[in-house]
Homo-oligomer: A and B are copies of this chain.
Amino acid sequence: MNIAVDTKERILTTARELFHGRSYADVGIKEICTEAQVQKGSFYHFFPSKRDLAMAVIDDMADDWAHGFVAEAFDEALPPIERLDYMVDAVYYWQKAAKNLEGRMPGCLFGNLALEISTRDEVIRARINAIFTKASDRFHEALEQAVEQGDMPPLDTQATATAMLAYLEGVILLAKTRNDPEVVRELGPAIKSIRIELKTPN
């Protein structure tokens, strides 16, 4: 059982790295198996299809994300607005490290996969969408607290949270297209300037 978990884990992390570094379509199962030192038959013992592997990778990454630097960034102990900066910083350092290692900025795995396969696979699309919603919820909490504590004038916290997530994804997209993590550092902090006003009842 130990060996099996290990094998499955090895497939998962390898696939994650390869998908993130290139793309879903560009990485074949053969390559994943070679890199992970697993036989093809073994691969199909653990994953019924490449598509299922993709879903597992997404879930795996979402877990790591949620319990990793997203949890750190949105730590309740931090002042709400600082959480935004923390998040931007975390993205910056991560992308920079990845670029130093591989020479290329991988961007956001979720954003990448969303644009690549969400038009073809409704289930995967919904999965990534759910992850985005969760991420947006973190922003939402922070904004609510910021308003509550008077650090920010009242605003539509829900919509603004989503807008901030969109901005972050957009910044990562642009940075990846320039292959330059510094874009994240330059543009990232402006996330705090984004505002969507409350709908005035009329």
Contact = CB atoms under 8 A, between A and B. Distances in A.
B23 A128 contact: no
A80 interface: no
A interface majority secondary structure: helix
Nearest to A166: B170
A21 interface: yes
Query: How many copies altogether?
Result: 2
Nearest to A107: B115
A167 interface: yes
B116 A179 contact: no
A152 interface: no
A32 B201 CA distance: 51
A66 interface: no
A177 B25 contact: no
Given A22-B119, A25-B23, A132-B177, A186 B159 contact: yes
A140 interface: no
8 contacts: A23-B117, A23-B120, A115-B115, A115-B116, A115-B173, A128-B177, A132-B178, A168-B170
